[in-house]
Amino acid sequence: MSTPILRTTRLTLSAPTAADAPAITDACQDPEIPRWTPLPSPYTLQHAVEFVDEAASRSSADSGYEWAIRTAPQHAAVSLVGMISLTRRGAGAAEIGFWMRGDQRGNGYLTEAAHAVIDHAFEPSGLGLDRLEWNAAVGNVASARAARALGFRFEGVRRGAFVTTGGGRTDGWSAGRLFTDSPTPAVWDVLG
């Protein structure tokens, strides 16, 4: 299945292409990305080229989808501002993942993009999923606040369940959102 183009007020989400490899490489020089994700560090152009190829293979196999988050020119000086993904986790479920360029954070692009991806995930005409999962290293407050804002319910701490490049294997925060859940943000005790 090809990765569909998703549009929001400020953003266009589409499959990453070979032409995006330099922008992906540039974004992934930010130490916050390997600090909180398993992405390689140092991150080279070759890593980005391989990532684009693998994303196309996963999409063809219907095992997962990667979207480059792109701004319209009037909204930012750069066009590729982040990446967001869905990875299938058994029948009817998938895990959401994301990163944003360091200089493009905190302006709501991630939550705007993720709403479109979640709609696509749950729509019967999209992927028709029943459940979405979110996982992060304990302490990744920025990611957790984004997941809470997106209607995910906190489900617990899993011991040694998450791996980051910077910290190795670490305890993980987990959350989920069901198709039947209200999208209204819930209380997350770990965020206070």
Ligand X SMILES: CC(C)(COP(=O)(O)OP(=O)(O)OC[C@H]1O[C@@H](n2cnc3c(N)ncnc32)[C@H](O)[C@@H]1OP(=O)(O)O)[C@@H](O)C(=O)NCCC(=O)NCCS
How many chain residues are in contact with ligand X, going by CB under 6 A? 22
One residue of 11, 80, 121, 136 binding ligand X per CB under 6 A: 136
Rounded distance, CA 160 to CA 158, Å? 6
In the chain, what's the furthest Cα-to-Cα distance? Answer: 44
26 binds ligand X (CB under 6 A): no
62: how many CB neighbours lie within 10 A of its CB?
Answer: 10
Which of residues 26 and 32 has its CB atom nearest to ligand X in the complex?
A: 32
Residue pair 114/137 in contact by the 8 Å Cβ criterion: no
Phi, psi of 104 (to 5 degrees): -120, 15
Taking the complex as a whole, the smallest distance from the CB of residue 42 to ligand X amounts, in Å, to: 16
Query: Scanning residues 74 to 93, which ones bind ligand X (CB under 6 A)?
Result: none
Q: Which stretch binds ligand X (CB under 6 A): 15-23, 40-48, 117-125, 136-144?
A: 136-144
One residue of 3, 85, 140, 174 binding ligand X per CB under 6 A: 140
Residue pair 75/112 in contact by the 8 Å Cβ criterion: no
154 binds ligand X (CB under 6 A): no
Rounded distance, CA 183 to CA 121, Å? 14
- Candidates 84, 110, 81, 116; CA nearest to 97 is 84
79: how many CB neighbours lie within 10 A of its CB?
Answer: 15
43 binds ligand X (CB under 6 A): no
One residue of 141, 157, 163, 186 binding ligand X per CB under 6 A: 141
Which of residues 122 and 152 has its CB atom nearest to ligand X in the complex?
A: 152
- Kindly list the residues in this chain that would bind ligand X in the complex (CB under 6 A): 32-33, 36-37, 98-100, 105-111, 136, 140-143, 145-146, 149
